[in-house]
Amino acid sequence: MSRFGYNLKQSFVQMGRNKGMYFTTILAITAMMLILGLFFTAFVNVNLFAKSIEKDYNVIQIYVKEGATAEEVQALGESLEKMEGIEKVEYVSKADALVTLKDRWGENGYLLDNLPKNPLPDSFTVNVKDKDAANKVAEEVPQMAGVDDIVYYRDTIEKLAQLSKFVETGSIVAMAFLIIVSIIIVANTIKLTVFNREKEIGIMKYLGATNSFVRAPFILGGVIVGIISALCATGLTYLIYSRVVGIVGEDATRILSVEVVPAEKLTMVLLVMFMVLGVLIGSIGSMISIRRFLDK
């Protein structure tokens, strides 16, 4: 513990002597982690939205024409049940659809109470076995009597999958780039600190100090920089993300029927991720900068 305490004290002494450089380094790494955090939050929510919509991949909504008679609606339902590849057919009246919409809108559902009439159509919710069956239904059903329109999420899901993949790839590329840049920044900062203590390090080596003894305060200083940056980046990401969730969260849930990831839950993941990155960036950057001086 005494050795660790000495190394920790020396780390803070170094940071105190070079406050400007360390402060600039913390700002730079914090900014890079913040960008990474925003990429991560975007990826998580897009991926969640894609998976939520994907559940409806084998669900087709078939809307009945306005004014269709009960006999026509019944005949349409029977025709749907006879189609190959259909697992389940459920009739949804316009009254039931309105109730569902009110529930989806939550506390804002009262806004629908003063409508002059129910604007929603009667419909059938059709569950199909697979993609081929869904494509067949999407092609044949519009030709049936009494059908006004159908909603099939295939195109939307495929586009969301592409978007999710793009965001994922972008996040990985951004993460790799930002980590490399952060390591370079830490390495340069520690290198300047080492330059200022080159004579002192030479004396310590002459008196028999081991490489690990000389290296420890610098590595610990880099780790401290990484941890401080991680805490700052996590806090800023939480403030930005929670603000965005507060503005669009309820609208997204009401309109898209998809809940965004809570800020508190996402922040804990980011904190762990940033702390690990901060420690790695700080330690690797420090080891790179101090190595050339210890090899002399």
Tokens of 100: 């569902």
* pTM metric for this prediction: 0.62
Contact 76, 158 (CB under 8 A): no
Specify the CATH architecture of the domain 58-152.
Answer: 2-Layer Sandwich (3.30)
Q: In whole angstroms, what separates CA 189 from the centre of its chain?
A: 31
Q: Write down the residue that tokens 């990484």 correspond to.
A: 226
Parallel, antiparallel or unpaired: strands 59-64 and 123-128: antiparallel
| pLDDT for position 19 | 78
User: What distance in Å separates the CA atoms of residue 75 and residue 91, rounded to the nearest whole number?
Assistant: 12
CA torsion angle 119 121 127 133 (round to 10) = -120
Tokens of 280: 């790695």
Instruction: Write the DSSP symbol of residue 106.
Output: G
**Terminal CA-to-CA distance of the chain, rounded, Å?**
29
| pLDDT for position 204 | 65
| pLDDT for position 28 | 86
User: What distance in Å separates the CA atoms of residue 243 and residue 248, rounded to the nearest whole number?
Assistant: 9
Q: Write down the residue that tokens 């105190």 correspond to.
A: 16
Contact 81, 125 (CB under 8 A): no
| Phi, psi angles (nearest 5°) of residue 67 | 90, 5
Domain boundaries, the chain: 2-53+157-294, 58-152
Per-residue pLDDT tens listing for the chain (296 residues): 577 776 677 777 777 777 777 888 888 889 888 988 888 888 887 777 767 666 656 788 888 888 888 888 888 888 888 888 888 888 888 888 888 777 777 777 666 777 778 778 888 888 887 777 777 887 888 888 888 888 876 666 677 677 777 877 877 887 788 888 888 887 777 777 766 666 666 666 666 666 677 677 778 888 888 899 999 999 999 999 888 877 765 555 554 555 677 778 888 888 998 999 888 888 887 777 777 666 55
Instruction: Write the DSSP symbol of residue 122.
Output: P
| pLDDT for position 155 | 67
| pLDDT for position 292 | 64
Count Cα neighbours of 161 within 13 Å in the Cβ-side half-sphere: 10
In 3D, which of 100, 84, 102 has the Cα closest to residue 92?
100
Q: Which 3-state string (H, E, C) describes 162-210?
A: HHHHHHHHHHHHHHHHHHHHHHHHHHHHHHHHHHHCHHHHHHHHHCCCC
| pLDDT for position 71 | 85
Cα–Cα distances (Å) from 226 to 30, 37, 276, 277, 285, in that order, read 9, 15, 9, 7, 10
